[in-house]
């Protein structure tokens, strides 16, 4: 079953054409790796796939809910980590927000600092927290923009494990990154 | 939607926004007696208008914090990905902004009325006018915040955008005080027009800011 279908996409930013002719189809268990130099349009392509940016040409279809991990963490700095995540889990329109957040925190090994305010987290911890929000959304399609930036080796391994588990459970993922990341059988989209 | 409104209201009060607003509003209201002298009859006559002008400036105060921080933090992105339309987000922000600034403002009006020696019936008219006008002011503030999000020096630009558009509210609000018939009805109508129009405009501005 297809989760994402993009046909003949062209991505433009500020009137400048960054990429064109991008065609991508992801079924359950699928993965795509978007690579390219800085400024090649990786983030813009992901924003188009997420529906945050209108494509300059072509069409995008998403089947089912989407979990988005952008550059910003989108977690209220003054709230405890678990509360900030629960806010988003409650917005997801799926039941059992508390359970999903607890499981996601354990998956990124942040359960020990669940009651620490977000503003006190380090860059890497904030990145893992954003990843926990994605995991807690229990959405079939994950769109991750530079998920490994700021992560140490152990956290990158956990990220790979998390993605593997998601794909094993019938989900699909699109990752934009300039860092090496093990994504077995991923379709590569080079910009 | 409710969770989103509640989040904004909680952040506003937790961030000390209400204290700031009340302090600013009362300061503006006390400037006028200093400027025009302590003549009690004169103060009582202009007092209602002074409160309206102060309320307008106070509503403008948090404009920079209404939309831009959420755009920068990726909060709007997350909401849009979850299927909330920008206009719905703007409407939630209008409701949250009204809940955050109208109750403290109405309470502060009681203090300002005592400072300006307003009669009880004038005070009632001011309170009724503000209760009807503040939803429109909140809608206008959110639309202004969305339009100026990402603009350098947004605070000053926001004043230039919002204050002229708030003039009808001021005219009808102050007009109701002067005992002109239908002032409150016109005020309510203006407020309603702003409540319908502003979220649409704010939604379009938010959509443009996402690009």
* Cα(A54)–Cα(A44) distance, integer angstroms: 10
pLDDT above 70 covers a percentage of chain A that reads 100
pLDDT above 80 for B180: no
In A, which residues are within 8 Å of B78 by CB distance? 68, 74, 88, 91, 133
- The per-residue pLDDT for B115 is 87
| Sign, CA torsion A156/A162/A168/A174 | negative
Residues B130 and B153: their CA atoms lie apart, in Å, by 29
In a domain, A22, yes or no: no
Which pLDDT band holds residue A162 (cuts at 50, 70, 90)?
Answer: very high
Q: Which residue carries 């000390």 as its tokens?
A: B16
Q: Which residues of chain A are within 8 Å of residue B80 when distances are taken between CB atoms?
A: 51-52
Q: How many CB pairs (< 8 A) connect A and B?
A: 48
Q: pLDDT by residue (tens digit) across B132-142?
A: 999 999 999 99
Instruction: Work out the pLDDT band at B44, boundaries 50, 70, 90.
Output: confident
Q: How many CA atoms lie within 13 A of A82 on its CB side?
A: 17
B→A interface, C-beta within 8 Å: 3-4, 7, 11, 14, 72-75, 77-82, 210-211
A126-162 b/e (C-beta count within 10 Å ≥ 16 → b): bbbbbbbbbbbbbbbbbbbbbbbeebeeebbebbbeb
Q: Which of B5, B14, B72, B77 is most worth mutating to test chain A (most A CB atoms within 10 A of its CB)?
A: B77
Residues of chain B with Cβ-Cβ distance to A53 below 8 Å are: 210-211
What is the tally of structural domains in chain A? 1
| CB contact at 8 A, A170 and A15 | no
What residue of A is the nearest CA neighbor of B72?
A72
pLDDT of residue B109: 95
What pLDDT sits at residue A4? Answer: 94
Residue B206 confidence (pLDDT): 95
A181 vs A188: CA distance, rounded Å: 12
Q: What is the pLDDT of residue B155?
A: 80
Among B97, B99, B113, B102, smallest CA distance to B51 is for B113
Q: Note the pLDDT of residue B174.
A: 84
Q: What is the mean pLDDT of residues A54-81?
A: 93
Lowest-confidence pick of A93-97, A111-115, B141-145: A93-97
Asked whether the CA dihedral B45, B51, B54, B56 is positive or negative, the reply is negative
Residue A13 in domain: no
Average pLDDT over residues A65-71: 94
**Is residue A3 in a domain?**
no
Q: Rounded CA gap, B104 and B26, in Å?
A: 11
Q: How far apart are CA B96 and CA B112, in angstroms?
A: 24
* Residue in this structure with the two tokens 């494990």, named with its chain if needed: A161
In this predicted structure, what is the pLDDT of residue B196?
95
Residue A8 maps to a domain: no
The per-residue pLDDT for range A25-56, each reduced to its tens digit, is 999 999 999 998 888 899 999 999 999 999 99
According to DSSP, the residues that pair with A80 across neighbouring strands are A117
What token pair was written down for A24? 């991508």
Mean pLDDT of chain B: 91
Decide: A154 and A184 in contact? Cβ < 8 Å: no
- How far apart are the C-alpha atoms of B94 and B76, rounded to whole Å? 15
**Model confidence pLDDT, tens digit, residues B12-25:** 998 888 899 999 99
The per-residue pLDDT for B132 is 95
Could you tell me if residue A2 is inside a domain? no
Nearest CA in chain B to A92: B82
Is residue B34 predicted with pLDDT exceeding 90?
no
DSSP state of A178: S
d(CA B141, CA B78): 23
Q: Is the ipTM of this complex over 0.90?
A: yes
E-strand spans in chain A?
2-13, 16-27, 31-35, 57-62, 66-69, 141-145, 172-176, 187-190
The pLDDT score that the predictor gives to residue B40 is 82
Closest partner residue to B211 (CB to CB) among A53, A74, A133 is A53
Is position A92 within any domain? yes
The tens digit of pLDDT for each residue in A169-189 reads: 999 999 999 888 889 888 999
Domain that holds residue A80: 28-54+65-186
- In terms of DSSP bridges, do strands A2-13 and A16-27 run parallel, antiparallel, or are they unpaired? antiparallel
pLDDT of residue B175: 85
Residue-wise pLDDT for A112-123, tens only, equals 999 999 999 999
pLDDT digits (tens, 9 = 90+) for A124-137: 999 999 999 999 99
Confidence at residue B78, expressed as pLDDT on a 0 to 100 scale? 96
The pLDDT of residue A13: 87
Nearest to B81 among A51, A54, A90 (CB): A51
Structure tokens at A51: 């529906």
Residue A45's CATH number:
3.40.50.300
Q: Where do the H-state alpha helices sit in chain B?
A: 2-14, 17-36, 40-60, 68-72, 75-81, 86-115, 120-148, 154-177, 183-210
DSSP single-letter state for residue B74: T
Residues of chain B neighbouring A133 (CB-CB closer than 8 A): 78
Chain A nearest-CA residue for B77: A52
Q: What is the mean pLDDT of chain A?
A: 93
Residue A10: pLDDT over 80? yes
Q: Residue B181 above 80 pLDDT?
A: no
Strand partners, A9: A22
pLDDT at residue B39, as a whole number: 85
**Residue A9 within any structural domain of the chain:** no
CA distance to A60, B10, B87, per residue, from B145 (Å): 31, 19, 14
Q: Please tell me the predicted confidence (pLDDT) of residue B177.
A: 85
What are A190's strand-pairing partners? Answer: A35
Nearest to B78 among A53, A65, A74 (CB): A74
What is the predicted pLDDT for the residue at A39?
A: 86
pTM here? 0.92
What is the model's pLDDT at position B81? 94
Query: How far from B19 is each of A76, A173, B50, B58, B103, CA to CA, in Å?
Result: 21, 46, 20, 11, 12
In the beta sheet, which residues pair with residue A7? Answer: A59
Burial B11-24 (b: 16+ CB within 10 A, else e): bbeeeebbeebbeb
Domain-embedded: residue A44: yes
């Amino acid at each position: 079953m297809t989760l994402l279908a993009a046909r003949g996409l062209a991505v433009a930013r500020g009137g400048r054409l960054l990429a064109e002719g991008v065609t991508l189809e992801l079924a359950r268990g699928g993965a795509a790796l978007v690579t390219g130099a800085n400024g090649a349009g990786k983030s813009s392509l992901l924003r188009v796939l997420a529906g945050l940016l209108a494509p300059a040409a072509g069409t995008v279809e998403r089947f089912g809910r989407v979990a988005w991990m952008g550059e910003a963490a989108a977690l209220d700095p003054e709230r405890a980590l678990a509360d900030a995540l629960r806010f988003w889990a409650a917005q997801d329109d799926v039941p059992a927000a508390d359970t999903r957040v607890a499981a996601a925190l354990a998956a990124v090994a942040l359960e020990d600092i669940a009651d620490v305010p977000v503003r006190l987290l380090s860059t890497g911890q904030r990145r893992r927290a954003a990843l926990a929000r994605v995991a807690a959304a229990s959405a079939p399609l994950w769109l991750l923009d530079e998920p490994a930036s700021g992560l140490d080796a152990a956290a990158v391994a956990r990220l790979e494990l998390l993605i593997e588990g998601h794909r094993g459970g019938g989900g699909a993922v699109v990752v934009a990154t300039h860092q090496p990341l093990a994504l077995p059988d991923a379709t590569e989209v080079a910009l | 939607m409710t969770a989103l409104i509640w989040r904004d209201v909680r952040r506003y009060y937790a961030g000390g926004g209400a204290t700031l607003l009340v302090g600013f509003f009362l300061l503006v209201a006390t400037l006028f007696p200093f400027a025009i002298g302590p003549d009690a009859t004169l103060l009582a006559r202009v007092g209602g208008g002074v409160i309206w002008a102060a309320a307008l400036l106070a509503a403008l105060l948090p404009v920079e914090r209404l939309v831009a921080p959420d755009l920068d933090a990726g909060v709007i992105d997350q909401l849009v990905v979850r299927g909330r339309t920008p206009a719905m987000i703007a409407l939630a922000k209008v409701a949250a902004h009204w809940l955050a600034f109208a109750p403290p403002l109405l309470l502060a009006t009681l203090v300002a009325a005592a400072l300006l020696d307003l009669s009880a019936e004038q005070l009632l008219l001011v309170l009724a006018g503000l209760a009807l006008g503040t939803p429109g002011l909140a809608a206008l503030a959110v639309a202004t915040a969305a339009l100026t999000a990402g603009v350098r020096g947004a605070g000053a630009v926001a004043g230039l955008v919002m204050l002229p558009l708030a003039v009808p509210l001021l005219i009808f609000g102050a007009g109701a005080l002067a005992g002109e018939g239908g002032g409150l009805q016109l005020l309510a109508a203006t407020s309603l027009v702003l409540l319908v129009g502003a979220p649409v405009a704010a939604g379009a501005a938010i959509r443009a800011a996402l690009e």
